[in-house]
């Protein structure tokens, strides 16, 4: 058994028991992905964040965040703010400028007293939801509740969410999503979560009033969502300060301040550490004989690519009965082409061919840790588990100086010499 320290942080809050609650585990370097997922399920908050030493040059700390369903989420929102508020409150950092590693990104952080500002990724404006009737029904609304002058659009500043404008605050309050239909609507446009908003605010000084839903990640509703507030601010303003109020429907009112300056999006908030304690965690389970066999098959696929002169990576999907559903290996010479990554191709296959229940019972076995982009696609596909053959430390030791991957796999490492042998020399 392992004893770990944890804390509760109320983010985007000026008083305890308001804002967005975050459970935080510092010193999480020794935890496996399965242990982190188990801890996140136990706390059952929208996100639990784990603070680790960075694996990318130039980062002060590395943050990994998991939902209760075990999905790893990326982007710098209340997960990042809460972590830095705790680091400041515990004396680990003082006022200053820092950097954080989240997935494949290294992002600036600014600590000033009781306030933390995190910089998000440059905004990316994605697909528009053309099926207004279907979207309204998925949200439990009438189509007339949707704003007539603005479309619902996916925007990302690290995580892509569907931003849905409605006509007034009453419509925001009436939203009652059908989880299955909303997940389907989000997948159709490549969105992760759904941010329903209006300019009809409680506080006249606020820009927007919003609610956030993310059923695919096990989040029924979130009282404050920095990874959605950033995209909304980027959509509403090319420059200036945007204030978003959220959490009123949950009895946890929150205020999120976002500053936009062209492609720079920065989210600012305060908060309070409201609880501290320790938890007993079961030791990580070893890889089973069956899992070992599937991993060796994935390594064999990677070896086939290497023999052909292509990037040496392979993966397969296995159903709950042990049947191989699909397999892929790289067929291009460089892993710079993300679309050729076998993990991404299989995640997309799963999203097209498996319903939610089937996906949850399916495991991906991969010869190497998925990159950040592939990990995001895996999470959106709803796959239940990922088992990988190579540890992050092994992979980084094989890469050229300055290289790095997110280490986003969820189970392992299996530490197979075969996996290391297939990659040996590839990055040199």
Report the catalytic residues.
343
Among 110, 108, 115, 53, CA closest to 85: 115
Phi, psi of 36 (to 5 degrees): -65, -40
The answer to whether 116 and 109 have CB atoms below 8 angstroms apart is: yes
**Dist CA 411 CA 420 (whole Å):** 17
- DSSP E strand stretches across 12-68: 20-25, 48-52, 61-66
Count of CB atoms situated within 10 Å of the CB of 402: 8
Distance of CA 37 to the CA centre of its chain: 13
Residue 5, Cβ neighbours under 10 Å: how many?
Answer: 14
DSSP-derived letter for residue 217 is G
Tokens standing for residue 81: 């703010």
Label the pairing between strands 264-281 and 115-119: antiparallel
- Return the half-sphere exposure (C-beta side, CA atoms, 13 A cut-off) of residue 48: 26
Q: For residue 102, what are the β-bridge partners?
A: 105
Tell me the C-alpha distance between 271 and 15, whole Å. Answer: 7
β-partners of residue 61 are 100
Estimate the crossing angle of helix 226-236 against helix 78-89, to 10 degrees: 120
* 72: nearest Cα among 105, 109, 99, 47: 47
The residues pairing with 174 across neighbouring beta strands, listed in sequence order, are none
Kindly list the distances between the CA atom of residue 272 and the CA atoms of 28, 105, 124, 164, in Å, as whole numbers in the listed order.
21, 26, 32, 30
Name the nearest CA neighbour of 227 among 69, 82, 114, 91.
Answer: 82
What is the phi/psi pair of residue 368, to 5°? -150, 165
State the first-to-last Cα distance of the chain, in angstroms, to the nearest integer.
40
């Amino acid at each position: 058994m392992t004893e770990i320290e944890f804390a509760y942080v109320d983010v985007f809050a000026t008083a305890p028991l308001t804002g967005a609650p975050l459970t935080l585990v510092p010193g999480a370097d020794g935890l496996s992905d399965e242990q982190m997922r188990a801890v996140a399920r136990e706390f059952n908050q929208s996100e639990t964040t784990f603070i680790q030493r960075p694996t990318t040059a130039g980062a002060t700390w590395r943050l990994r965040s998991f939902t209760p369903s075990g999905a790893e989420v990326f982007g710098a929102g209340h997960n990042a703010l809460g972590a830095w508020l705790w680091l400041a409150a515990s004396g680990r950092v003082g006022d200053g400028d820092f950097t954080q590693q989240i997935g494949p990104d290294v992002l600036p952080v600014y600590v000033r007293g009781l306030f933390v500002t995190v910089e998000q990724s440059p905004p990316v404006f994605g697909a528009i939801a053309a099926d207004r009737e279907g979207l309204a029904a998925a949200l439990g609304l009438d189509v007339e509740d949707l704003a007539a002058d603005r479309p619902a659009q996916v925007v990302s500043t690290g995580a892509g969410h569907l931003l849905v404008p409605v006509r007034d605050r009453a419509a925001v309050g009436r939203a009652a999503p059908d989880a299955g239909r909303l997940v389907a609507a989000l997948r159709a446009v490549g969105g992760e979560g759904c941010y329903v908003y209006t300019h009809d605010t409680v506080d006249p000084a606020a820009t927007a009033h919003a609610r956030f839903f993310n059923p695919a990640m096990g989040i029924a509703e979130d009282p404050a969502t920095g990874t959605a507030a950033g995209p909304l601010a980027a959509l509403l303003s090319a420059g200036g300060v945007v204030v978003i109020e959220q959490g009123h429907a949950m009895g946890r009112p929150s205020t999120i301040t976002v500053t936009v300056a062209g492609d720079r999006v920065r989210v600012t908030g305060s908060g309070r550490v409201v609880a501290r304690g320790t938890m007993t965690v079961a030791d990580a389970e070893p890889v089973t004989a069956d899992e070992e066999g599937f991993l060796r098959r994935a390594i064999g696929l990677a070896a086939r690519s290497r023999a052909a002169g292509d990037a040496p990576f392979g993966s397969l999907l296995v159903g709950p009965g042990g049947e191989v559903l699909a397999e892929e290996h790289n067929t291009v010479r460089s892993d710079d082409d993300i679309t050729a990554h076998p993990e991404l191709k299989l995640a997309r296959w799963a999203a097209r061919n498996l319903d939610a229940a089937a996906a949850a019972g399916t495991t991906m076995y991969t010869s190497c840790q998925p990159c950040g982009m592939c990990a995001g696609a895996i999470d959106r596909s709803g796959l239940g588990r990922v088992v990988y053959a190579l540890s992050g430390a092994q992979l980084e030791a094989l890469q050229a100086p300055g290289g790095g991957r997110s280490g986003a796999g969820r189970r392992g490492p299996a530490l197979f010499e075969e996996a290391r042998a297939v990659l040996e020399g590839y990055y040199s």
